[in-house]
Amino acid sequence: MKILVADKISSTGVDFLKSQDGFEVIEIFDLPKDERAVKLMEHAPEMSGIIVRSDSRITKEVLENAPKLKAVGRAGVGVDNIDIPAATDHGVVVMNTPGGNTIATAELTFTHMLCGARPVPQAAASMAAGRWDRKVLGGSELLNKTLGVCGMGRIGAEVAKRAKVFGMSIVAYDPFLTEARAEAMGIEQVELETLFELSDYITVHMPLTDQTKYMIDEAAFAKMKAGVRIFNCARGGIIKESALLEALNSGKVATAGLDVYESEPPAEDHPLRSHPKVNLTPHLGASTQEAQESVGIEIAEAIADAVRDGEIRNAINMPALDATTLGKVGPYLDLCSKLGTFVQQLALDKIESVKITYLGKIVDLDANSLTRGVLKGFLQNISGSNVNFVNAMVLIERLGIGVEVSSSNAETDYTELIRVEAKCSNGESVSAEGTLMGKGNTPRIVTINDREVEVDPCGYLLIIANSDELGIVGQLGSIIGKAGVNIASMSLSRNEVGGIALNVAGLDSALDDAAMKEILSVNAITQAKLVHLEC
């Protein structure tokens, strides 16, 4: 498995990858940026994993040229340089390292706040110029001021913790912050407009999304106190720069500190560069020795786990599947995939919707991963090898197939049971239920179309529906034998004597069209379907 390190990360992280059995590490980060882009495209077809920082771009073209690629890792937080939709389409998981630069970014934010309160950079510049501007470089204290924190994730929480030590009151806006956590942190949870109205200092710690772009604009500044101080070490574009410039010029904003920008780097003649009330840094949030060491090791370990073991953490385009979760759901993933494949092949008409039901103790597991397993199997014969746990949700949505997921603690004959039902355009439905049996967690299909069976979901399965008459099994055996195919197993089920019987024969190889046609010519047989499941 080949891992490409496109941008420079900690040497400890690179050494870790090189120490892993079965890995070949290719490094191109010492090349000029333009040459790196060329080499990235050249190496892409053979890569299982790629690691980048902010310089190299993982574009749609790169992803289309990388059929073996399983994961892209960003040694940092922002993934603006990675085409997430294209990665998802190609089944490539995208991961970042949100924890590695937490302290570094929180400390930089607080440095900006302190420099916004006391004009240290301006004072240093005046001293270097030979001046003594003591009388004109007065400042303000943080004590008893109100800090508004937009976004209470890892970094926002660390900034709030430091602000409390400085004697500040904290108000926070975060749609995902619970009251219990806010109370435990000793902060007041408010709506965004209230935060604008109450805050003496405002700091931003949210991702850039359609909802947060220009979240702080002209209308937002109009709601703020006169002389407010504002800081952004998160993502450029959350604060509208033209609105900030206007607020600085009017005196609405006393000082501002920015580490990120709408366009990076900002133009040389950008008016904020020379504004006397603004402190700018060149995107230094994660630029500490400790942070770079941390994110380099973290992304190297994450890429290795994803490529080798399928363990996913800090993923952008799919739920996390860490070692603990993988250990619990892993035995069920193969069963889920086979149930999805089985039901898709069993249907006799176009499928319009799929319903997945989890019963028994399995409801305590990660249903999202299990559902992706079912859909991956369902799409296997439709989308081929291109489908995986990453893109299954997207692909099935594009097909217009509805997906319904439910769970129940209702009693069943099994400790855990997974039911997959497909509704077809002709109004009919097909279903299968499966569970794991024995100490070896062996997957078994235990009902087909609500008829009890016990089937090993492996290899070729011939599913026959017939009226319950004498001699049907014999006729089937004769036709299958004449075709030169061996019957490895058989499971029989009927609803009542003389009713409809269900026969599932496990075969060592496939039946040809002539044999299937002969089986369907038997008067008592109403349906015959050959299903193939990977072992």
What pLDDT, in 10s, does the model give residues 113-159?
999 999 999 999 999 999 999 989 999 999 999 999 999 988 999 99
**In a shared domain, residues 509 and 429:** no
CA distance 67 to 389: 16
Contact 62, 44 (CB under 8 A): yes
Q: What local confidence, expressed as pLDDT, does residue 233 receive?
A: 95
75-106 per-residue burial string, b: 16 or more CB within 10 A, e: under 16? bbbbbebbbeebbbbbbbbbbbbbebbbbbbb
**In a shared domain, residues 471 and 357:** no
- Structure tokens, 414: 């099994």
* Segment (H or E) for 162: helix 154-165
- Name which residue leads in pLDDT, 54 or 116: 116
Please, which residues have CB within 8 angstroms of residue 323's CB and are 6 or more apart in sequence?
Answer: 305, 309, 311
How do residues 307-356 score in pLDDT, each as one tens digit?
Answer: 998 888 888 887 766 666 677 777 788 899 999 999 999 887 889 899 99
Residue-averaged pLDDT of the chain: 89
Asked if 532 is an active-site residue, the reply is no
Contact 403, 372 (CB under 8 A): no
On the question of pLDDT at 176 being above 80, the answer is no
Q: What local confidence, expressed as pLDDT, does residue 471 receive?
A: 82
- Among 425, 455, 485, where does a domain finish? 455
- Among 455, 478, 508, where does a domain finish? 455
**In a shared domain, residues 261 and 119:** yes
Contact 501, 468 (CB under 8 A): yes
- CATH code, domain carrying 479: 3.30.70.260
Full domain range(s) for residue 526: 458-535
- Name which residue leads in pLDDT, 389 or 93: 93
Asked if 313 is an active-site residue, the reply is no
Closest C-alpha among 345, 533, 339 to residue 436: 339
* Location of structure tokens 């109009």: 222
**In a shared domain, residues 63 and 11:** yes
Residue 285 inside a domain? The answer is no
- Name which residue leads in pLDDT, 408 or 93: 93
Percent of the residues in the chain that have a pLDDT greater than 70, as a whole number: 97
Catalytic residue selected from 141, 218, 264, 454: 264
**pLDDT bracket for residue 386 (50, 70, 90):** low
**In a shared domain, residues 327 and 382:** yes
**pLDDT bracket for residue 473 (50, 70, 90):** confident
- Structure tokens, 183: 């109370």
Catalytic residue selected from 283, 313, 372, 444: 283
Q: What local confidence, expressed as pLDDT, does residue 384 receive?
A: 63
On the question of pLDDT at 383 being above 80, the answer is no
**Residues in the chain, overall count:** 535
On the question of pLDDT at 365 being above 80, the answer is no
**In a shared domain, residues 49 and 36:** yes
Residue 512 inside a domain? The answer is yes
Q: What local confidence, expressed as pLDDT, does residue 24 receive?
A: 95
On the question of pLDDT at 260 being above 90, the answer is yes
**In a shared domain, residues 63 and 116:** no
- Among 455, 476, 492, where does a domain finish? 455
Peptide bond into 265 cis (omega under 30): yes
Residue 435 inside a domain? The answer is yes
**pLDDT bracket for residue 31 (50, 70, 90):** very high
Q: What local confidence, expressed as pLDDT, does residue 495 receive?
A: 65
* Segment (H or E) for 352: strand 351-360
Q: Which of 85-94, 235-244, 285-294, 327-336 reaches the highest mean pLDDT?
A: 235-244
- CATH code, domain carrying 216: 3.40.50.720
**In a shared domain, residues 119 and 267:** yes
Residue 468 inside a domain? The answer is yes
Asked if 264 is an active-site residue, the reply is yes
How do residues 264-302 score in pLDDT, each as one tens digit?
Answer: 999 999 999 999 999 999 999 888 888 889 899 999 999
- CATH code, domain carrying 345: 3.30.1330.90
Residue 147 inside a domain? The answer is yes
Quote the number of domains for the chain.
4
How do residues 426-467 score in pLDDT, each as one tens digit?
Answer: 888 999 999 998 877 889 999 998 888 888 898 999 998 888
The mean pLDDT value for 385-390 works out to 72
> End-to-end alpha-carbon separation of the chain, Å?
24
**In a shared domain, residues 514 and 425:** no
**In a shared domain, residues 419 and 472:** no
CA distance 415 to 436: 9
Catalytic residue selected from 112, 235, 419, 444: 235
The mean pLDDT value for 204-223 works out to 92
**In a shared domain, residues 373 and 426:** yes
CA distance 259 to 284: 7
CA distance 286 to 101: 5
Residue 89 inside a domain? The answer is yes
**In a shared domain, residues 122 and 256:** yes
